[in-house]
Amino acid sequence: MTSALRWLRRDAPLLLLFVLLGLAALALIVRGAGASPVAVAQALYAGALGSRYNRAETLISAVPLLLTGLGVALSFRARLFNIGAEGQFLIGAVAATWVGTMPLAPGLHLLGVLAAGAFAGALWSGLAGLMKLYRGVQEVLTTLLLNFVAVQTVAWMVRGPLQEAALRYPQSDKIAIPARLLLLQPAATGGEPATRLHAGVFLAAALVFAVWFFLRWTAGGFALRAVGAGAPAAEAAGIPLARTTLTAFLLSGALSGLAGAVQISGVTYFLADRYSPGYGYTAIAVALLAGLNPLALVPSALFFGALTAGSSNVQSAGVSSVVIQVLQAVTLFSLLGYAWARERRARLAGAGEAAD
C-alpha cells in the first residue's frame, strides 16, 4: 500500500473529524455573536472569490503569506524556531523603500528593491543566528524581541529619514515607477475594474519550487534537514552545525524580507506606520498548516489569503472582521488536535506491539 493510500485510509478520516469539530466550534461562536453561520460563510466566500477583483485580492494577500511562510518553514525544518518573520518583513520593506526612492537606473531599480529587501531580512535574522551560536541565546527570544525593534524602526524611519517630502503624514514618498512590479490585470473591456494583481505571484511561485528543490535535492538542504532531525547526530556525521544553522537563519530572513519588498513594489508603493497587518505572525500558522512542506504552502497561503481578503466583507453578515482571526485560530487548533491524536494513536499502537 502506497503512503498516499495509507494516509487516505488511516489519517484522512481523523483529519476530517477535527475539521468538522473546528467548524462546529466556529459556528457556535458566530451564533453566540448573534449572526448566522451560513450568512457569514456566504459573505466570506463573496469577499474572497465572488468577483475578478476579489479573487485578485486573495492572490495578493497570499503572496506575502507564502513568502514569509516559506521562511518560517525553512527555519522550522532545521528545528530553529524563528518567529521573527514579522520583523524581517518590516525591515525588508524599509530597505526596499529606501532603494525605491533613490535615483537609480531604470533597469536596475526593481532588482535593487527586491535585493535590498532580501538582504535586510537576512541581516535581521542573522543577528539572532549569531547570538544563538556565539552567546547561546535562544532564537525564540531574540527573534520575538527583534520584531518589536523592527516596528519601532519603521515608526522612526517614516517620521525621519524616509518621511515624505511634504512632511504631512508619517509615511514615505512613493517609490519610483521603474521600481514597481508589473500589474497583470488592467481594466477589462466590459467595464470591470482593474485589479492590483502583480507579477510578484510568479516570483513567489518560483521560490516555492526553488525552496522545495533546495530541501529535497541539494547537499545544503540535506544538511539543514539532518540538523533538524538531530543536531548531535548530524554533527557527528560531519555536517558543519554552525554554518548550517546560520545558513538557515539567513535564508529564512531573506525570504521574509523579500516579502516586504514585494509588498512595497507590488501593492502599496510606499511605507507607512503600522505597515504590516501581521503577515509574519500569520505565516507561522500557514507553515504549520502545510506541515512545513514548501509545495503544501501554496494551498495553505491561499486559504489564509482568502480569509484576509474576505474579512472586510463579513461585516455585512452582522459580525466583526475579528471573526476571521478566530477562524484562523480554530483552524490551527484543529490541525494541532489532529497531530496530537495521530501521534497518540501511533504511540498506543507501538505500546501494543511491544506488549505482544
Choose from 12-21, 151-160, 238-247, 300-309 the range with maximum mean pLDDT: 151-160
Cα–Cα distance between 139 and 143 in angstroms, integer? Answer: 6
pLDDT band at 214 (very low <50, low <70, confident <90, very high): very high
* 163: Cβ contacts below 8 Å, ≥ 6 apart: 157, 170, 171, 172
pLDDT at 192 over 60: no
Please report, rounded to a whole number, the percentage of residues in the chain having pLDDT higher than 70: 91
CA neighbours closer than 13 Å in the CB half-sphere of residue 31:
7
pLDDT of residue 29: 80
Residue 112 φ then ψ, to 5°: -65, -40
| pLDDT tens column, 89-123 | 999 999 999 999 998 888 899 999 999 999 999 99
Q: Any idea which of 48-57, 179-188, 259-268 has the lowest mean pLDDT?
A: 179-188
Nearest to 89 by CA among 58, 124, 141, 140: 124
Q: Cα-atom radius of gyration of the chain, to the nearest Å? A: 22
**Residue 272, helix vs strand vs coil:** strand
**What confidence category does residue 154 fall into, taking pLDDT thresholds of 50, 70 and 90?**
very high
Residue pLDDT, tens place only, 325-343: 777 778 778 877 877 777 7
What's the mean pLDDT when you consider all of the chain? 86
- Indicate the burial class of 348 (C-beta count within 10 angstroms; 0-12, 13-18, 19 or more): exposed
Question: Which pLDDT band holds residue 184 (cuts at 50, 70, 90)?
Answer: confident
Phi–psi pair at 294, nearest 5 degrees: -55, -40
**What would the mean pLDDT of 215-230 be, rounded to a whole number?**
89
Averaged pLDDT for residues 314-321: 70
Among 15-24, 89-98, 236-245, the least confident range: 15-24
Cell reading at 14: 481523523
Q: Cell numbers at residue 76, please?
A: 522550522
Q: Indicate the residue type of 321.
A: S
User: 190 pLDDT exceeds 60?
Assistant: no
Grid cell for residue 112: 535593487
Distance CA 203, CA 207 (A): 6
What's residue 271's pLDDT? 93
The Cα-based distances of 20 to 13, 14, 38, 150, 334 in angstroms read: 10, 10, 15, 39, 9
Categorize the per-residue pLDDT at 230 as very low, low, confident or very high, splitting at 50, 70 and 90.
Answer: confident
Residue 265 identity: S
Q: Which amino acid is at 268?
A: T
d(CA 1, CA 14) in angstroms, rounded, equals 19
Overall average pLDDT of the 150-155 stretch: 94
Lookup: cell for 284? 507561522
The answer to whether residues 187 and 194 touch, using CB atoms and an 8 Å cutoff, is yes
Please say if the pLDDT value at position 346 is more than 90.
no
The residue with greater pLDDT, 189 or 323, is 323
Is residue 252 within 8 Å of 114, Cβ to Cβ? Answer: no
